Every structure is written in C-alpha cells, then in structure tokens.
Amino acid sequence: MDRRESPLKRLLTLCIIKLYGKYSKHMYFPQKLINILSDMYVNNQCCVRHGGQQSDWFTVKSGFRQGCIISPLLFLIATNQQPRGITWKAFNHLQDEDFADDIALLSHSQKDMQEKIRCHETTARSIGLKISHSKSKVMKINTKSNSDVLIDGKSVENVTDFKYFGSYLTADGNINREISARIVMASTAFYKLNNI
C-alpha cells in the first residue's frame, strides 16, 4: 500500500477485505465512491447553533462526523477488521464485549489483559486508530493485585465502578447505585409526561 494513501482509502480497502474476504484481491472500490466519501470528510465545514445564535464556520479536521449515517458504517468496518488481526485463545467464556466504538476486554490476569491491550493497540494503529487513554478504565474484581495496566506506556485509571452503556457496574457487585439511577431516570420520564 502506498504510504501516501489517505486514511479513507485505507479504510475502504479494509471494507473490501471485510466484504469480499479471499476475493478482495480482485475487487476494489470505484474511485468515484472514494471521491464522494472523501468530499464528505476532507475540508468539511461546520458551525454551531445555540440559542438562535450561529458560530463562525470552522473546519473539522479529524474523527468521524457526528450525525453522519455513513460514519458508523465506516467505523464498524474498520473496527470489525481489528479482531481478525488478533489471535485469541480458545476459552469457553466471554473474552470481550464490543459495541460501536467501545470495547470491554475481560481477563483473568494482568499479564493477559496487557497482552490483549497490546494486540488492540498494534492492530488499531495499523488502520489509523488509537485507543483513548483518558477514556479507558480498569476495574479489578476479586484481586489484590496492584499491577498497573498500561495503554501507550501510561497507567490506566483503576476504578471501583463505572457506567457502561447506561448501567453502573461495580467491582463488588453492589446494585444500589444502579437501582438509584434507574429510579431517577423513571421519575424524570414521568415528570416530563406532566406537560403533555
């Protein structure tokens, strides 16, 4: 692959591999499709509207576009390619939980967790993605280990609870915080019905 190829072209190349498997060598995305998608992402201009006011226009230089229906597809194509490059051990239990741009890795040891992260970092880097250190968290369950888990050479924050897809998970399995949050959400929903 030409080093000067755009990330979009690399992403589309991954799409071909995903869609056509062993036949990918004989298939390609038409340049017209690459041009159309590139026009959506290169020099994309946006503004912010709030309270009847509009900001100055600015160029969006990175990331997938919020609200763009093609962005989730492109992201899924790229991230679905990622696990194919990683060799997992054959266990009879869940190894990871993937949804959109969130990946929850599960492991029985710090060493195994670090290896999974290393594999994800390497594979993500090869397709132009990076694991967010600031958004990543480690929750240790039933262990006294103080070993740090590293992403990009930096220690990942250890937490005893965090919110994952709208639900609170805790290291001790306590559901009180989750129940309280659900009661608040239900109360808020019922309160909004008063105005109908």
DSSP states of 85-98 as a string? TS-----SS--EEE
What are the structural domain ranges in the chain? 1-44+60-84, 88-159, 160-196
| CB-based contact 105:117 (threshold 8 Å) | yes
Please check whether residue 128 is in contact with residue 8, taking contact to mean a CB–CB distance below 8 angstroms: no
| Amino acid 151: pLDDT | 87
pTM above 0.85, yes or no: no
- Cα–Cα distance between 150 and 118 in angstroms, integer? 9
Token couple for 169: 């998970």
d(CA 139, CA 107) in angstroms, rounded, equals 11
pLDDT digits (tens, 9 = 90+) for 58-102: 887 766 566 677 766 666 666 555 554 445 555 555 565 665 567
User: Picking from 17-31, 53-67, 120-134, 161-175, which range would have the lowest pLDDT averaged per residue?
Assistant: 17-31
Quick check: helix, strand or coil at residue 174?
coil
